[in-house]
Amino acid sequence: MKVSDFLRDVRAFEKEAHSILAVHEAAPSRLIVLEDTYRKLKALSLKQDELIRQALRCVESDLFRAAHVMAWAGFMDFYEEKLASDGLKKLRTLRPKWRAGSIEELREEVNEYQLIDAARDLALCGKTESKALHGLLNKRNECAHPSDYFPSLNETLGYISEILQRIGTLQSRKL
């Protein structure tokens, strides 16, 4: 048997094993399914890519609260870049009192909840989507601040999966 044939067989075995194990609720192999979803996204910035990858590494290390925080950070970087994709022109017209001359100022001056509301007003997302994003933000806040909330593997994988799906949906939308 050639080495290349052996490696092909090993990869096929690994893929099949992960697909079998992924159906079990507490199996870390479920992360492989999540990584497949991640690979389907269009290109992210290097920063966003690294933040999402850190979230996945947190899951691998059973750091579920940290995984929520990192996934949200990756989402928000994407979201803020999307809001600034026209040079912040539409956002400044919509919210003239906001000091948002640059994306850095936007990040410093405007809280995430308000940014979600602004995206709704800019028709980047609808009412239901903005409520879902507020819910994801609240979940992130529970994980980032002292609380009695300790998410499980399942909750964390679901959270990251939803973050990735939201990014995928927003990627195709124009501001």
What pTM, to 2 d.p., does this model score?
Answer: 0.80
Sorted by sequence, the CB contacts under 8 Å of residue 59 that are 6+ apart come out as 28, 31, 34, 67, 153, 156, 157, 160
**What are the pLDDT digits (tens) for 64-116?**
999 999 999 999 999 999 999 999 999 999 999 998 889 999 999 999 999 99
- How far does Cα 94 stand from its chain's mean position? 26
| 3-class SS letters over the chain | CCHHHHHHHHHHHHHHHHHHHCCCCCCCCHHHHHHHHHHCCCCCCHHHHHHHHHHHHHHHCCCHHHHHHHHHHHHHHHHHHHHCCCCCHHHHHHCCCCCCCCHHHHHHHCCHHHHHHHHHHCCCCCHHHHHHHHHHHHHHHHHHCCCCCCCCHHHHHHHHHHHHHHHHHHHCCCC
pLDDT at 15: 64
Q: Is the pLDDT of residue 158 over 70?
A: yes
Rounded average pLDDT over 123-137: 96
